[in-house]
Amino acid sequence: MAYRSQKFDQPITDFLPAIIQAFKQTVYLYKQNRIKTSFVPYFYAVVLGALVAEKRKVGREEISFWGWLG
């Protein structure tokens, strides 16, 4: 759902390292009892944040490619 909400042009397999890292972070915090809500909403928020960061990274690369024009 987080992937679809960001409307990427790339396949989801390109973002698997970021998603796996988000899962590891969530499990680590869950084991330390640092998650105040349920596991699933917290994981969704972490994945969404990671995908937003990836989308910014892709956008920044596109802008720097065309930056020589302006």
pLDDT above 70: residue 52: yes
pLDDT above 90: residue 47: yes
> Rounded to whole angstroms, how far apart are CA atoms 68 and 70?
6
Q: Please, are residues 39 and 30 in contact by the beta-carbon 8 Å criterion? A: yes
pLDDT above 60: residue 70: no
Each domain of the chain, given as residue ranges in start order, spans 2-69
Q: Which strand (E) or helix (H) includes residue 57?
A: helix 39-66
Dihedral sign computed on CA atoms, order 22, 8, 4, 55: positive
Give me the chain's average pLDDT, please: 87
pLDDT above 70: residue 7: yes
pTM of the shown model:
0.79
pLDDT tens per residue across span 13-37: 988 999 999 999 999 999 999 999 9
